[in-house]
Structure 1
Amino acid sequence: MGTLPTDHERRGFMKLIASAAALTSCCCASVGRAFAHETAERGGAIAGGEKSAKSRMLGIGADVLQSQAPIAAINMYLNGFHFYADDMGRQIEAHHYCHHVNEDFFQCVIYDGNKSHSRLIGIEYIVSEKIFRSLPADEKPLWHSHRHETTSGELVMPRIPMEVEHTAIASLVNTYGKTWHTWQIDRDSALPLGIPQLMMGFTQDGQLEAAMIESRDTELGISTLKERQNREDLAKSAGPVQAGADGWQSGQAAQLVLQKLPLKNRRG
């Protein structure tokens, strides 16, 4: 049996723990301030005070002890653009982090950037053409096609070899997405005000503002033109867009509006 630590050893051990905690707190505070500064430069800081030492330490503990299986399953990063279903003039760059659940279904969380402090602004579900064809007629207009996004070079997978990206993008050409943005960052970058909005994708050249493409390309160090040239074979082999998708093309767009309704099944 080992000997018990002396009072001196115990005090030394506790000081070591306290020092480590203080160092962690200091580092977290510095990083937090840096993130807050960078966020402010990119459109204004998110409302709220800086994290306390207690909150940071709780976060570190949760990160070590708790499972993050749904987040860990994310295995694809896509960058592209959306517009509000009822207003093509409101255009948003969207960073998608997706889980390829099976051959016919992806689910993605969408951020306004690719940094740890980026705002979570929406979700997108992506289905194969087979599943899209099976949807009810009144459901299809809520979904947008990916044919133009993929073949034009608008949709990219940053930081992976172009050959690998080409293979991955090829699997998305004939898919369809249903996208909701929960944070209208073009109107308020501090808080997610209002209600979720249905988003759509672009279907032809000239719809997406050139300045947005240029800004994205500069930020990510890519060339949309080169991406497009590398995908000429995909454009030639892509099938036609299925009827019912891109509902806004009829001139009438679906969109959410807030409505008060009587409460049902109230308890208490």
Structure 2
Amino acid sequence: MPDYYIRTPEQDESRGPFDISKLLTLAEAGQINPNTLYYDENREEWVPLALNEELHAQVFPEREKLALKVDESKQTKSKAKAQSPSEKAIDVEAMLAAAEGNTAEKRKQIRRKKSFERAANLSCSGLGLMMLLSALVMVLPLVPEIQGALNNGNFAAIFNYVSILVAIFDFIIGLLLFLSVTEVFPLARGRAMLTLGFGVYVGWALNDPLLMQLAAAAGVGAFLATISQRMSTMLLAFVLGIGGNGYLAYLALNGRFDGFFDSIVLNLVTN
């Protein structure tokens, strides 16, 4: 069944699309008449409803049919007569709102959709910042080793440190997220779980409860940022993820991890 756009001859603004049942509702409410214009896609122009015999008959049925319909619903008619003019106006507005889809449920769905869109727009940049902060946490404790490798002309040796490899991974993922490459979300989610597990292990190995709590916050925050569909949940993810990784980077800058990351070495590159 086709849908129709309508407008009055005096106005340029149209309403719709409406199906036949909604047009009939508007006609019964006195909101449209045979002179109301509808857009004829075949003619590609606005035409009065009265000129389309079939459509006119459906929207404005004969009075006898309407009378029969009223006789069959006497109870409804008596209730309608008992209504005050203000109540009738409210009913007309409610019918128009329902015809145009402007209902409470529809508005709720729109708000939910907007919340999801805002969360999605922020997720890439927020998660990207978390990954860059995580890369700093991995690199800062090894600054002396990096400087020594540069002075000795053996820069490739720094790739023997596991934390350097993890930092490179974090940096690449963070850069891709800032470019809105959402395909890396599964990798970021896996990295978040690694932060949670490995970070808590580091805090336990160093006998530092604060590190365990910060690592847990950073991991949970990054994980939530990859799955959140509401703005409120996304804000919580930012507080946990950015706050946790940011504080860990601050502690790394102040030597909290000295003697730990430089002990985890592979033999990928030899002198």
TM-score grouping bracket, smaller chain normalisation: under 0.3
TM-score (norm 2): 0.22
Structure having the higher strand fraction is 1
Structure having the higher helix fraction is 2
TM-score (norm 1): 0.22
Larger radius of gyration: 2
